[in-house]
């Protein structure tokens, strides 16, 4: 073999170093703020709530594998709540706690589009503002498990490309005059491809599973198109191996089929339309097999007399036209795939995915330079070209390991927070009340809320979400007389009714989440409650101290918690399970039970006291505040005040019992999976919240 000139050595060395640097950067990924595939969530990352949500809802941009996708919420009290997919695009986690502090949400999804596993996390606060790192965290580069899978995939890809290139080279060598020594073997690379493919698929299944198990592998390989493409690929590789032994001339068919399945199991499957992405990627792989795979096959040969002698040059002359055509197709299909995966040219330098793609392009350019020299018969360096081809294949495998190419990440960012539903929710001027039927929130709204003809609107929200409301069987009666309902959307029912005021409206919800709710209408029109709400807010936010006994459903039995508050930043709480927490400024003390040691934590932010469940963020307004009538509670005469608000995008109803001084004695908050009642007492009592003794 000829000595490699210094200039060519420098080209190969620089290309290799660039690939190593990029790989090193990938192996040590730094989490960054990103939307990943979460389109929207409730609560939102970093959001501060006055009360814990009854359910954490995550909406995703792509269909997810309902068997393997999951989320976990960890409460400040150490409780762990798990949830799974509630529909093709959503994961829900029900919470049965209202502990003050920071909650962490960790989610994992397995895409039904391409089978990739994605992970992310974020935090939200109840009564406190989350600190640093509360925004959604997702890595823009592959985590270590995906990198290991990418290495196995590089072996699989390289073996398949080699096998296709070897097949093409054997056919060229058979042309007369026959080149008898040019017989690169296909059986060994096909065996390697089969084993590596099995490692990749099993690795992907284990990476997707919550715990390693045969059941997880079955779930991964029996759900959706990604499962079919992976099984098809393994079957094609095994078939190619068998044919390579028994009928080598037919091996090209299963090899090409395996490449098509390989394309359909990657990012190309997420392109719209799918067939176009898979077609471009399949063409890219087949062309790369004839070009780069052919170069790998050439590098494996040992021509008699070396590559400068006539027999070797005769083979190269035959291979050159095929290699040049395949190279052109490889570049063309690669460029088309790049336009599908990049959102803009700047992604080539601004994103890790683009940097790897740029390195791959540089390696291809270096290969092309060496191939051009060989074609002109000035310099033949098949081993150097083969080394560059191996690096190109590694770069391609790394690209497939990325959680989201820039184009898909950009599409998610564009749609994040953009989803909205046309719901029958209260408007200014309406009369609105809320109740519960089983675990279903029932919001009842009268429009215009005047004596005479009214539009009666029901908003139904099960714990499972709005889509689950579509199948609910709902009946309504007014003073015992049935009312004919019509659907106005999944969570919405409507009817036309004539009302005078004072009627009893019964709402019954059938099915698994059965229950009923009764509403007693006030005199119509109900008095406007805006001024009473304003005075209430003014009085309650002037308090120095108070206590709250909280009952939280729809858990059975309900969760009981006792709170003590002292202005401006002290809070104590005890749950029925025995968990205790004391906040004194930014310092939090907590313990799991009365006989457990206290743990101290400098949290970085302090609770704000006074603050209440019905408080809204700046810029938001209460909707339809109305006075429903009077009630006596604990010997005190109060007025019943109802109103509506959207908190974090989630419809929420409130009912307060307010005395003549503006003090709230009882508060009720109803939203998805969160039915909360507060008894408020010991107002401005002379107690002190202090750090635990010792």
Q: 3-class SS at 196?
A: helix
3-state DSSP of 523-556: ECCCEECHHHHHHHHHHHCCCCEEEEEEEEECCC
Provide the pLDDT for residue 417.
40
The angle subtended at Cα 395 by Cα 415 and Cα 202, nearest 5°, is: 80
Provide the pLDDT for residue 140.
61
The angle subtended at Cα 173 by Cα 168 and Cα 179, nearest 5°, is: 155
Q: What domains appear along the chain, each with residue ranges and CATH number?
A: 6-28+142-406 (no CATH), 33-138 (2.60.40.1220), 439-519 (2.60.40.10), 528-681 (2.50.20.20)
Other CB atoms closer than 10 Å to residue 246's CB: what's the count? 9
Q: What is the mean pLDDT of residues 198-215?
A: 89
- C-alpha 425/C-alpha 481 separation (Å) is 25
Q: In what helix (H) or strand (E) does residue 641 lie, and over which residues does it extend?
A: strand 636-647
Q: For the whole model, what pTM was predicted?
A: 0.74
User: Which of the residue ranges 180-189, 364-373, 426-435, 566-575 would you say has the lowest mean pLDDT?
Assistant: 364-373
Provide the pLDDT for residue 368.
79
Evaluate if residue 490 carries a pLDDT over 90. no
What one-character-per-residue DSSP string does 654-694 give?
A: EEEEE-TTS-EEEEEEEETTEEEEEEEE-TT-S----PPP-
- C-alpha 77/C-alpha 187 separation (Å) is 59
Provide the pLDDT for residue 420.
38
Provide the pLDDT for residue 194.
95
Residues of the chain with pLDDT > 90: what percent? Answer: 45
pLDDT tens profile 95-120 = 888 888 889 999 999 988 888 888 88
Provide the pLDDT for residue 647.
83
Q: Give the pLDDT band of residue 132 (cuts 50, 70, 90).
A: low
Q: In what helix (H) or strand (E) does residue 575 lie, and over which residues does it extend?
A: strand 570-575
- C-alpha 466/C-alpha 463 separation (Å) is 9
Q: Give the pLDDT band of residue 373 (cuts 50, 70, 90).
A: low
Task: State the DSSP code for 604.
Answer: S
pLDDT tens profile 382-418 = 677 778 888 999 999 998 988 778 887 776 655 444 3
Q: Give the pLDDT band of residue 638 (cuts 50, 70, 90).
A: very high
pLDDT tens profile 431-458 = 999 999 998 999 999 998 889 999 999 9
Evaluate if residue 181 carries a pLDDT over 60. yes
What one-character-per-residue DSSP string does 343-354 give?
A: SSTTHHHHSHHH
Provide the pLDDT for residue 637.
96
């Amino acid at each position: 073999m000829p000595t490699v000139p210094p200039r060519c050595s420098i080209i190969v060395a620089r290309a290799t170093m660039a690939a190593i640097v990029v790989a090193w950067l990938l192996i040590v990924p730094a989490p960054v703020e990103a939307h990943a595939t979460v389109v929207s969530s409730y609560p939102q990352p970093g959001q501060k709530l006055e009360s814990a949500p009854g359910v954490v809802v995550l909406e995703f941009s792509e269909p997810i594998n309902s068997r393997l996708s999951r989320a976990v919420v960890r409460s400040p009290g150490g409780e762990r709540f798990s949830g799974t997919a509630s529909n093709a695009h959503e994961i829900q986690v029900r919470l049965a706690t209202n502990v003050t502090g920071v909650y962490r949400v960790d989610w994992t999804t397995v895409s039904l589009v391409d089978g990739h596993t994605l992970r992310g996390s974020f935090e939200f606060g109840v009564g406190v503002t989350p600190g640093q790192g509360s925004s959604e965290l997702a890595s823009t580069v592959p985590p270590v498990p995906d990198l290991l899978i990418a290495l196995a995939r590089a072996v699989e890809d390289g073996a398949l490309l080699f096998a296709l290139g070897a097949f093409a080279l054997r056919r060229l060598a058979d042309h007369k005059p026959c080149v008898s020594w040019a017989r690169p073997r296909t059986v060994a690379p096909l065996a390697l491809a089969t084993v590596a493919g099995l490692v990749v698929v099993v690795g992907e299944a284990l990476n997707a599973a919550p715990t390693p198990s045969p059941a997880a592998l079955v779930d991964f390989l029996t759900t959706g198109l990604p499962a079919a493409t992976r099984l098809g690929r393994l079957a094609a590789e095994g078939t190619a191996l068998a044919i390579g032994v028994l009928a080598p001339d037919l091996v090209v068919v299963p090899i090409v089929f395996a490449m098509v399945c390989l394309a359909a199991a990657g990012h190309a499957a997420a392109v719209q339309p799918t067939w176009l992405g898979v077609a471009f990627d399949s063409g890219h792989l087949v062309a790369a097999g004839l070009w780069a795979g052919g170069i790998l096959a050439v590098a494996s040969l040992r021509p008699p007399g070396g590559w400068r002698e006539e027999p070797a040059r005769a083979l190269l002359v035959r291979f050159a036209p095929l290699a040049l055509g395949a190279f052109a197709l490889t570049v063309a299909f690669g460029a088309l795939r790049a336009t599908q995966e990049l959102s803009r040219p700047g992604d080539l330098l601004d994103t890790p995915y683009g940097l790897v793609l740029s390195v791959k392009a540089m390696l291809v350019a270096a290969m092309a330079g060496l191939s051009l020299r060989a074609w002109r018969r000035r310099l033949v360096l098949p081993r150097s070209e083969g080394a560059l081809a191996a690096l190109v294949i590694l770069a391609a495998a790394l690209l497939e390991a990325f959680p989201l190419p820039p184009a898909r990440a950009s599409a998610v960012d564009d749609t994040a927070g953009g989803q909205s539903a046309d719901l029958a929710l209260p408007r200014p001027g309406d009369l609105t009340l809320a109740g519960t039927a089983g675990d279903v929130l029932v919001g009842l709204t009268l429009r215009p809320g005047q004596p005479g003809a009214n539009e009666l609107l029901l908003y139904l929200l099960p714990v499972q979400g709005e889509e689950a409301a579509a199948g609910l069987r709902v009946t309504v009666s007014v003073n015992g007389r049935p009312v004919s309902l019509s659907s106005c959307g999944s969570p919405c029912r409507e009817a036309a009714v004539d009302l005078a005021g004072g009627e009893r409206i019964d709402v019954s919800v059938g099915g698994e989440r059965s229950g009923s709710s009764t509403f007693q209408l006030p005199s119509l029109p109900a008095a406007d409650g805006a001024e009473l709400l304003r005075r209430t807010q003014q009085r309650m936010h002037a308090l120095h101290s108070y206590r709250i006994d909280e009952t939280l459903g729809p858990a059975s039995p309900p969760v009981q918690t006792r709170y003590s508050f002292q202005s401006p930043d002290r809070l104590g709480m005890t749950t029925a399970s025995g968990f205790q927490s004391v906040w004194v400024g930014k310092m939090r003390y907590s313990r799991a039970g009365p006989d457990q040691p206290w743990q101290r934590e400098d949290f970085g932010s302090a609770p704000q006291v006074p603050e209440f469940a019905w408080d809204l963020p700046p810029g938001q307004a209460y909707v339809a505040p109305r006075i429903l009538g009077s009630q006596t509670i604990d010997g005190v005469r109060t007025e019943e005040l109802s109103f509506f608000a959207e908190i974090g995008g989630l419809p929420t109803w409130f009912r307060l019992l307010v005395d003549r001084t503006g003090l709230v004695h009882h508060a009720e908050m109803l939203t998805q999976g969160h039915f909360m009642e507060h008894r408020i007492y010991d107002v401005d009592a002379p107690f002190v919240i202090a750090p635990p003794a010792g």
